[in-house]
Structure 1
Amino acid sequence: MSAEQANSNDSVSDEGYCAGLLREHDRDRWLACLFAPQQHRRGLIALYAFNSEIERVRDMVSEPLPGEVRLQWWRDLLEGQARGNASGHPVAAELSAAIERYHLPVPALTTLIDAHTHDLYDDLLPSVTDLEGYCGETSSSLFRLASLVLADGGDAGAADLAGHAGVAYGVARLMGHAARHAARGQIFVPADIVIKHGSAREDLLNGRDTPDLRAMLAEFASLALGHLERAEKLLPVTPAVVVPAYVGLALVRPLLRRMTRRGFNIFRDRAEQAQWLRQWHLWRFARR
C-alpha cells in the first residue's frame, strides 16, 4: 500500500471515529449534520466532535485538576504547543483539517475551552448575564463556527442570530441535564434566579420535586424562550447557506414545553422526546 493510500485510509478512519463519537454522545447534533450539504458534513462533524470531547471532560474525571490538564492539552494543540502530533488523536486530526480548510478562528475555539473550565467546579454563575456569557462562549460560538463551515469559510451571517440561538439552545440543554448535573452537586441556574425561589437549590440537589423547584425551572425556561423568539425573528434574513447550522433550534421549544408542563418531574420523567419525534422536528425545520 502506498503512503498516499495509507494516509487516505487513516483519514477515513478518523472521520468515522468522530461520527461514531458524535452519534453516541451528541446524537441530536449528529442528526443535524445530515441536513447540511454533504460536502460540509465532515467539517461539521469534526467541530461537533471536538465540542463533545470538551463537554464530556467533567464526566471523565473525578477531580478538577485532571480535567484542567485535559483542557490544557486541547489549548496547547490549538496553539501549536502540544507535544506530539495531532494525527495521533482522531478528533484532533479532523479538527485541524477543518480549521485549515474553513479558516476557523482558533481564539474562538480556545475561548470555548476556557468557558467549559467552569464545568469542572460546582460554583454557581452569579447572574443571568454571566450565564448568557457562558452560553455565548460555548453554544453561540459553536453556531458561529458551524456557520463558517457551511459558508466555506466566507460570510457566516449575523452574529446576533448566533448569540440568541446559543443562549436558547444552551439553556435548554442545561435544563435537560439538570437532574444529572445536580446528582454530582452542580447547578447551572444562575444565583440571581436561584435565590428568588426559596428552597429550590436544596430541592434540586436532593432530588425533591417541589413547587419552588418547578417555579425556578419555569423562569429558567422563560429565559431560553425569550432568546429563541429573537433568534426565530432573525432566521428569515439570514443567508440561506448557513441556516442548516441552526437546525438544532427545532428541539428547543418542544423540550421547554415538555419540562414545564403540569406534573412533569425532572427526577422521574425523561426530558427529551422520543428519538423519532426529535428527528421529525429537525426534518420539519430543515424543510422550512
Structure 2
Amino acid sequence: MKPLSAEIDLYNLVRSADPARYFASQFIPAMHRDDVFALHAFDLEIRKIVRTIREPVAGEIRLQWWREVFQGARDAEAAASPLAHLMLDLTQRHSIGPQIWKNYLDGRIFDLYDDAVEDRAAFEAYAGQTEGTVLQLACLILDRGQSTSAAQVSGYLACVLCLWDRVLQPILYSDQPLTSQYVSKISRYLPPEFRDPSGLVANPYLESETVDIERAMSEICIVAESYLEKARAAADAVPPTLRPAFLHATPMASQIAKICQLSQLELPLRKAGSERLIWQLWRSSKRWPCF
C-alpha cells in the first residue's frame, strides 16, 4: 500500500472541513492516528454528499456506491479512489463487517429527504446510526477489546452531535438571513417533544408565525445539555485508551453550556480561532470526561 501522503491528504481534508475534529485527532496515539483521520475523512465525504446533492435519487446512488464498495462489489473502482482504497484497507485490518457500514449509510438516507423525525426514539436511532457509528468505530480503532464499554457514552454524545451539527450550528453561526423555510427544514431533525417547546416548525411547506430564534436555540441547547449530563454520568465506564475518541466534542459541549447560561443570545456567534481551539482541547485532554 502506498504511503497515505501519496494517496490522499487526509489531514488537510479534515482540517478544512472540521477544525475541531482535526486538532482533537492530533491527540490520538500516533499508531492509530491515520486510521482515525481516514474514518473522519469518510464521514465528512458522506456529509458533503447529503448536503450538496440536490436530487435525493442522485444522493441515494452515491450512497449505494459506497455500500457496494464495502460489500466488495466495486473493487476496480475502489482501487482508483484514494479514499475508498484507504477505507477498504482500514475495514480489513480492523475486521469491520459490511453491515456496520450499511447501517451508517442507511441512516444517512434520511438526510436526503424533507421528512421530519417522528419521535424521540426515531431521533435517537438516527443519531446512533450516524454519529454513534463513527464514535464507536473510532473506539474500535483505538482499542478493539474495550470498545463496547463506550457504547452508552457514544449513544448519548451521538444525540448531542446530531443536535449540534444538524440544527444548532447551521443557525448559530449563519451569516445569512434565517428564512422561515430554512429554519423549518433544519428543524425536521427535532422530534415533536423537542421541536414544539422551542416553537420551531418541521414542515417547510406550512406557513407559521415568526419563530423566536434565540429562545428556540436556548431550548434546544437545554435538551443537548441533558444528553451531555447522561454521557458524563456514564463516562466512568470508558477506559483511558478510548477517551481520545471523544475529545472533539469538547468545543461543542463548552458552547452549549455557555448558551444555556446566557440570558440573551446575539446571533450569529463567532467561531473560535485555531489558537483558542487548540488551547481548549489541550486543557480538556487532561481531564475526563472532556465534554
- Using structure 1 for the length normalisation, give the TM-score: 0.84
Contact kept, 8 Å, 2:198 with 2:220, in 1: the verdict is no
Structure 2 residue aligned with 1:282: 281
Contact kept, 8 Å, 2:132 with 2:155, in 1: the verdict is yes
Unaligned stretches of 5+ residues in structure 1: 1-6
Paired AA for residue 128 in structure 2: G
Structure 2 residue aligned with 1:145: 137
Partners of 2:51 and 2:101 in 1: CA distance: 20
Superposed, 1:106-117 pairs within 5 Å as 106-117=98-109
Structure 2 residue aligned with 1:245: 245
Structural RMSD (CA):
2.9
Partners of 2:184 and 2:31 in 1: CA distance: 40
Partners of 1:29 and 1:59 in 2: CA distance: 19
Describe the shift of the 1:176–1:209 C-alpha distance in structure 2 as closer, same or farther (beyond 3 A).
farther
**Seq. identity, %:** 24
For the residue of structure 2 that corresponds to 1:165, the secondary structure is: helix
Partners of 2:182 and 2:258 in 1: CA distance: 19
For the residue of structure 2 that corresponds to 1:264, the secondary structure is: coil
Unaligned stretches of 5+ residues in structure 2: 175-180
Partners of 1:45 and 1:212 in 2: CA distance: 39
Corresponding residue to 1:135 among 116, 127, 137 = 127
For the residue of structure 2 that corresponds to 1:241, the secondary structure is: coil
Superposed, 1:1-288 pairs within 5 Å as 7-9=1-3, 11-14=4-7, 16-82=8-74, 84-151=76-143, 153-156=144-147, 157-174=149-166, 175-178=168-171, 182=182, 185-187=185-187, 188-198=189-199, 200-201=200-201, 212-260=212-260, 261-266=262-267, 268-270=268-270, 272-288=271-287
Describe the shift of the 1:230–1:210 C-alpha distance in structure 2 as closer, same or farther (beyond 3 A).
same
Partners of 1:281 and 1:129 in 2: CA distance: 33
- Using structure 2 for the length normalisation, give the TM-score: 0.83
Partners of 1:250 and 1:28 in 2: CA distance: 9
Describe the shift of the 1:197–1:160 C-alpha distance in structure 2 as closer, same or farther (beyond 3 A).
closer
Partners of 1:87 and 1:100 in 2: CA distance: 14
**Number of aligned pairs?**
275
Describe the shift of the 1:170–1:282 C-alpha distance in structure 2 as closer, same or farther (beyond 3 A).
farther
Contact kept, 8 Å, 2:197 with 2:219, in 1: the verdict is no
Paired AA for residue 194 in structure 2: I
